[in-house]
């Protein structure tokens, strides 16, 4: 009887695998695939207790042919075998909606012993690697006794590991740990392969990590077990709302916002970022600055984080150029300005640096930084010219010594460019000061540079920023006819957009910077920025809301294309005066 049942189960298992493979073939070109973030073990079943049957590494994608309905594990098809991988260890391409559910446990033949792919045994770290967290912060009474912490077991990430609010992938990510850092283990879960660690970067002082992502230092059996299933809601600490005055608004004393609509908007944007895994204090995060230009109220989401300035830094360069020059730009200078702002052309940007540096691009970059410092924008600097890849003709110039610029913003997680950094709030404040200056000659720019920057020059700057329409990022969440003055920029891991947005019910500044350590997909960032812009526009215009965002379609950029789309731009930049764009 038992033997007959065993045969029946084997037949069902075989039929299950055949069905999975048939469905896999039916996926065709749309079949989802998984790629290891760094390195991931494959197991015989959907859990850490099953034997290792292989390993995958980053750089190769494998078809996903099944998924567990109970646990966050995926069944992959390799050329010579199948295997289960933990979902948090891979990047998924495509949708899992059509992937069948299965709890299939793979059988191992007697001659097919799994290779020894376990992580190397952990050894005590040497050097100055920090030991993170020797005691819990605000810990529940039942969590861990002092004796447990004295005899602490530690973990170190194999590469990096997500830290979650509870023992499972469905809990929110609250941070990450990296190789070279040790964290004390407080508890281990009796049912799930997760460990609770001391995690000072979160408000509770603790978090959960998946056991397969770390090396363990010490005897894990000495760590207390828990079978707790209820962990409540995570403690979220959204950025408080700020009100700032207009002249100069960055030196004003912050007060609590009294605008509930702006507060609700900030909470909605923050929740949106978290839902897309842009989480503060991790290797994938974003920051948003928004200011109501009628009241001066602003919101700052994930503030005081330094990002690579990418091409957004060219707006500070634009301001520095008009500060340095005392007359309207020549036709050649106007062309350089248009190419720098609209096409993000680095050669043109360096030519402008050379003008303001009186023949020296490096000195021009220092002038940009000094201009921002005088405005009170302490987290924005440019310490060198822009990379062009062009060969140097003639004698090689003597390299300029690189002197790091000290800033107040956090540089820990976003790997900002050592020579080009900023924050969304600095850029947003700069745009606001440009708006007030162009409108009526008020605000911080003419206050800081009374003999060097005028309302006419601010209107020239707004004019070229208004010409920058790229069919991507923020503008795709706005009605097509919306007037905006903006600058975009991106590199492999950092994408940004900054804009003054003119709307029927009120003008506002919106600045967004996003970062993902390995690679930030443009489709992801553009769609997310568009949704942030849509929600912001609707908050200011509730009677005329935008229903959906539009698809990105960025054209090629050239001076000829600029002239075709905006034939009066170059002439306008040389006019003795320009109207304020309302």
In whole angstroms, give the CA distance from residue 306 to residue 513: 10
Question: How many of the other CB atoms lie within 10 Å of CB of 248?
Answer: 17
DSSP, residue by residue, 431-465: HHHHHHHHHHS-SHHHHH-TTT--HHHHHHHHHHH
Give residue 95's pLDDT.
81
Residue pair 310/426 in contact by the 8 Å Cβ criterion? no
End-to-end CA distance of the chain: 86
Give residue 367's pLDDT.
96
Furthest C-alpha separation in the chain = 98
Domains of the chain: 32-94 (2.30.30.40), 131-226 (2.30.30.40), 242-386+400-573 (3.40.710.10)
Q: Note the pTM of the prediction, 2 decimals.
A: 0.61
In whole angstroms, give the CA distance from residue 489 to residue 554: 13
In whole angstroms, give the CA distance from residue 28 to residue 43: 26
* Dihedral sign computed on CA atoms, order 572, 574, 575, 581: positive
Give residue 346's pLDDT.
92
Cis before 248? omega within 30: yes
77's CB contacts (< 8 A; 6+ apart) are 21, 24, 62, 63, 64, 65
Give residue 258's pLDDT.
53
Give residue 47's pLDDT.
80
Give residue 518's pLDDT.
79
Give residue 168's pLDDT.
84
Give residue 400's pLDDT.
57
Give residue 232's pLDDT.
62
Give residue 246's pLDDT.
33
DSSP, residue by residue, 480-508: TT-EEEEEEEE-SSEEEEEEEEE-TT--E
The CA-based angle 261-264-270, given to 5 degrees, is 140
**Residues of the chain scoring pLDDT < 50:** 1-29, 110-151, 236-257
| 225 DSSP β-pair partners | 188
Give residue 403's pLDDT.
62
Instruction: Report which of 178, 191, 247 is spatially closest to residue 441, judged by C-alpha positions.
Output: 247
Question: How many of the other CB atoms lie within 10 Å of CB of 312?
Answer: 29
Q: What are 279's two structure tokens?
A: 């989480």
The alpha carbon of residue 295 and the mean position of all alpha carbons in its chain are separated, in whole angstroms, by 29
């Amino acid at each position: 009887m038992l033997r007959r049942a065993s045969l029946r189960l084997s037949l069902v298992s075989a039929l299950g695998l055949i069905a999975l493979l048939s469905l896999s073939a039916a996926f065709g070109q749309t079949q989802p695939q998984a790629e290891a973030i760094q390195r991931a073990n494959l197991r015989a079943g959907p859990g850490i207790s099953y034997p290792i049957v292989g390993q995958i590494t980053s750089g190769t994608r494998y078809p996903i042919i099944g998924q567990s309905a109970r646990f966050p594990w995926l069944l992959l098809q390799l050329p010579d075998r199948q295997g289960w991988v933990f979902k948090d260890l891979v990047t998924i391409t495509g949708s899992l909606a059509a992937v069948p559910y299965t709890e299939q446990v793979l059988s191992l033949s007697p001659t097919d012993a799994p290779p020894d792919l376990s992580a190397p045994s952990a050894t005590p770290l040497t050097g100055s690697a920090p030991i993170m967290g020797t005691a819990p912060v605000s810990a529940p009474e039942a969590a861990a006794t002092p004796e447990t912490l004295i005899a602490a077991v530690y973990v170190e990430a194999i590469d990096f590991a997500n830290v979650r609010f509870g023992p499972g992938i469905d809990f929110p990510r609250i941070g990450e740990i990296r190789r070279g850092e040790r964290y004390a283990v407080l508890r281990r879960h009796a049912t799930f392969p997760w460990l609770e660690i001391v995690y000072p970067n979160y408000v509770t002082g603790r978090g959960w990590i998946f056991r397969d992502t770390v090396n363990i230092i010490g005897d894990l059996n000495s760590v207390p077990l828990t079978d707790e299933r209820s962990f409540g809601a995570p403690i979220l600490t959204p950025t408080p709302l700020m009100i700032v005055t207009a002249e100069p608004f960055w030196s004003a004393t912050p007060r609590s916002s009294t605008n509930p609509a702006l507060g609700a908007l900030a909470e909605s944007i923050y929740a949106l970022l978290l839902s897309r895994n842009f989480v503060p204090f991790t290797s994938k995060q974003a920051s948003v600055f928004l200011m109501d230009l009628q009241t001066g109220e602003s919101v700052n989401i994930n503030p005081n984080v330094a990002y690579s300035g990418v091409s957004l830094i060219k707006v500070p360069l634009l301001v520095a150029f008009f500060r340095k020059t005392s007359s309207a730009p020549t036709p050649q200078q106007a062309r350089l300005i248009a190419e720098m702002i609209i096409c993000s052309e680095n050669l043109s940007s360096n030519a402008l640096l050379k003008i303001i540096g009186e023949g020296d691009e490096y000195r021009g970059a220092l002038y940009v930084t000094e201009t921002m410092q005088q405005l009170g924008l302490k987290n924005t600097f440019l310490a060198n010219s822009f990379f062009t890849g062009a060969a140097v003709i003639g004698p090689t110039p003597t390299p300029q010594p690189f002197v790091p610029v000290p800033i107040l913003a956090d540089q820990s997680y976003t790997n900002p460019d050592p020579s080009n950094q900023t924050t969304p709030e600095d850029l947003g404040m700069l745009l606001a000061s440009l708006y007030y200056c162009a409108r009526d000659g008020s605000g911080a720019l003419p206050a800081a540079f009374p003999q060097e920057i005028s309302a006419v020059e601010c209107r020239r700057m707004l004019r070229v920023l208004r010409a920058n329409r790229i069919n991507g990022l923020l503008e795709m969440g706005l009605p097509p006819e919306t007037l905006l003055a903006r600058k975009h920029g991106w590199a492999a891991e950092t994408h940004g957009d900054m804009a003054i947005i003119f709307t029927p019910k009120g003008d506002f500044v919106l600045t967004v910077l996003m970062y993902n350590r390995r690679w930030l997909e443009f489709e992801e960032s553009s769609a997310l920025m568009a949704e942030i812009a849509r929600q912001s526009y609707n908050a200011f215009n509730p009677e005329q809301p935008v229903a959906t965002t539009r698809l990105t379609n960025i054209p090629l950029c050239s001076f000829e294309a600029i002239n075709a789309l905006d034939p009066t731009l170059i002439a306008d930049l040389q006019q003795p005066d320009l109207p304020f764009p309302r």
